[in-house]
Amino acid sequence: MMSKKNKGSGRLQKGGFVYSTNPDFQPGDQDMDLEETLSAEQQLLYLSLDRKQRKGKIVTLIEGFIGQAEDLNSLAKQLKTKCGVGGSAKDSVILLQGDQRKKIAEWLSSQGFKIKMKGG
């Protein structure tokens, strides 16, 4: 009987492929398609408010970030510290508790990001 730790780990350790019809395929030669983080001047971020599926609580959404997860998390941490609120970052979207659009817009603009407000 396999323990939970080892269950199905053999295939994942070998890159996750099962079979390839490509005669030139070499395991381990897979290029990681990590998206390179654009500079602040090249980023266009959208600010909006949302309260759907949040029990009526308002959150500020920052969408449109192009880059790696580490850079997104770093930006989210800086914004949470600047605004003094909680939040999260996932799938190129940063969520901050409350209506923080004015503070965020000013700070992101000072950092070189281009900002567009979404919604009313």
Assigned domain for 67 exists: yes
Phi and psi torsions of 89, nearest 5°: -140, 130
The CATH number of whichever domain residue 112 belongs to comes to: 3.30.780.10
Measured distance CA(117)–CA(120) in Å, rounded = 8
Q: How many domains does the chain have?
A: 1
Q: pLDDT tens, 12-57? A: 455 566 777 878 877 664 455 556 888 878 889 999 999 888 888 9
Query: What pLDDT was estimated at residue 37?
Result: 83
**Does the pLDDT of residue 11 top 50, yes or no?**
no
Sign of CA dihedral 97, 77, 117, 35: negative
Q: pTM of this prediction?
A: 0.69
15 belongs to a structural domain: no
Q: Which of 37, 42, 29, 52 is nearest to 111 (CA)?
A: 42
Residue 11 lies in a domain: no
Assigned domain for 46 exists: yes
- On whether residue 33 sits in a domain, the answer given is no
Owning domain of residue 88: 40-117
